[in-house]
Amino acid sequence: MRTAQQPATRHWRHAVAPGGLPLAGHALLMGRKPLQFLASLPAHGDLVELRLGPRPVYLPCHPELVQQVLVNARVYDTGGPVKEKAKPILGNGLITSDWADHRRQRRLVQPAFHAARIATYAEVMERECEAESTAWTARRPIDVSHEMLALTARVTARALFSTDMAPHAVAEIQHCLPIVVEGAYRQAIDPTGLLAKLPLAANRRFDDALARLNQLIDRMIDDYKASDDGDRGDVLSALFAAQDDETGGTMSDQEIHDQVMTLLLAGIETTASALTWAWFLLGRNPRAEAALHAEVDGVLGGRAPRYADVPRLAYTQRVFSEALRLFPPAWLFTRTTTEATELGGRRLPPASDVLISPYVLHRDPALFPRPESFDPDRWLPERAKEVTRGSYLPFGGGSRKCIGDVFGMTEATLALAAIAGRWRMRPIPGTKIRPRPQMSLTAGPLRMIPEPR
């Protein structure tokens, strides 16, 4: 195992990724089999250079170098072509804002995710998880991906916009969000930037879905302002109430709009993908499934899970943590240097793109023994403390660490417990699943059979 403390004189290994072609560099390898390609790179060096087209990009493979990038958010800022393409969709919110503005925005949005607020959102989670787990018919196959996306869309929408949000608005989010996420990803990986401008049916669908989401958010904001409700306990109320400690400033309607769009895009598909992977993994690991059932039965004794149960659902949380390790939804994200700097002894010019891949760290046998095996108990406290610091990053790190980490963990724990209390999710023999590294690391359709327990 690598140790967290490295001597100051450490000699970092640099490498150029093998397999580059004269013009395309490694773009074809990244396009065809990005997960396998990226996961092969730590064997070559601590800092690996690859070329996606003409530009070099850098992949730190050692957790210490990854930490250096994440904690130095001023020098390693969000940026580059991916951010520019995300701006027309997300506006200027937490994900797209540059370093200086991000600090102000984070101060304003953070209160919406304080523990006391999460306890209120958990009431929505409890209700929706219970509704989901009672909606299925015994032995009628379901598409787990679809169900988990519907569940997290309902939870997030209702936590954002108050609990009595009209059902048609939730349905609108459920319909539009996957189209926007898919279109945003297509645009992000299009090196020419021309795809979005072509008169394609997919582009028209994307434009329409984005316009509908924007209208829905505007309507929610207008309704809130007209209602005179004060604090409804939802995220929107917290955003309206937020006041910057340092400047006394608040957020404009447009800023609130952009934060809401950002939360919808960042919070729904990520949690749904990880939940889908958790069911997939449990279906292939009967011992882990039995341990989950035993915990859920012992803690809940047949009733629906409540927020207060979450700390006692420790195995359930370990299952989710392990699903996040094997299939981290945010499998790849980027930073761009704002000035010349040095990483692992290598000089990086300004505007260098740096890739951060939790997937690469999570699958590195030097960091996680038997990395391919699904072993929730590697997160038992006594074993977890052996894990090299900075090598487990499903929620990122530094000042841009996921603001919804506790929200997502709470939601997933309640969802797993509510469903596992009622159903055994039986895999359908012969089902083949290939991870789809898109905006999130999704499983695609996953049919399973809910068997009453």
Interface ranges with ligand HEM (CB under 6 A): 94-95, 106, 156, 262-263, 266-267, 270-271, 274, 324, 329-330, 333, 394-396, 400, 402-404, 407-408
Strand order in the sheet with 14-16: 14-16, 47-52, 55-60, 353-356, 333-337, 76-77
Beta carbons of 53 and 336 less than 8 angstroms apart = no
Q: CB-wise, 29 or 89, nearer to ligand HEM?
A: 89
- Rounded to the nearest 5°, which phi and psi values hold at 452? -60, 145
CB 90 to ligand HEM: min, Å: 10
Residue 60's DSSP bridge partners are 47
CB 318 to ligand HEM: min, Å: 14
Q: At what angle do helices 115-134 and 405-422 cross, to 10 degrees?
A: 30
Q: CB-wise, 29 or 326, nearer to ligand HEM?
A: 326
Q: Which residues are CB-contacts of 30 (< 8 A; sequence separation ≥ 6)? A: 37, 38, 50, 52
Q: CB-wise, 184 or 324, nearer to ligand HEM?
A: 324
Q: CB-wise, 29 or 221, nearer to ligand HEM?
A: 221
Q: CB-wise, 177 or 403, nearer to ligand HEM?
A: 403
CB 1 to ligand HEM: min, Å: 23
Which of 74, 84, 78, 92 shows the shortest CA–CA distance to 335? 78
> How many Cα atoms are found within 13 Å in the side-chain-facing hemisphere of 288?
25
Q: Give how far the C-alpha of residue 33 lies from the chain's centroid of Cα atoms, to the nearest Å.
A: 21
CB 162 to ligand HEM: min, Å: 15
Q: CB-wise, 29 or 334, nearer to ligand HEM?
A: 334
Q: CB-wise, 29 or 313, nearer to ligand HEM?
A: 313
Q: Which residues are CB-contacts of 392 (< 8 A; sequence separation ≥ 6)? A: 325, 358, 361, 362
Sign of CA dihedral 404, 442, 425, 290: negative
Q: Which residues are CB-contacts of 353 (< 8 A; sequence separation ≥ 6)? A: 55, 57, 58, 80, 334, 335, 336
If you ran DSSP here, which 8-state letter would residue 356 be given?
E
Coil, helix or strand at residue 417: helix
Q: Which residues are CB-contacts of 377 (< 8 A; sequence separation ≥ 6)? A: 318, 383
Give start and end residues of each alpha helix (H) in 285-300. 286-300
CB 377 to ligand HEM: min, Å: 20
If you ran DSSP here, which 8-state letter would residue 277 be given?
H
Q: CB-wise, 95 or 184, nearer to ligand HEM?
A: 95
If you ran DSSP here, which 8-state letter would residue 25 be given?
B
Other residues' Cβ atoms within 10 Å of the Cβ of residue 347: 9
Q: CB-wise, 203 or 338, nearer to ligand HEM?
A: 338
Among all residues, whose Cβ is closest to ligand HEM? Answer: 404
Which of 277, 351, 321 shows the shortest CA–CA distance to 83? 351
CB 401 to ligand HEM: min, Å: 6
Distance CA 321, CA 247 (A): 38
Q: CB-wise, 62 or 83, nearer to ligand HEM?
A: 83
CB 324 to ligand HEM: min, Å: 6
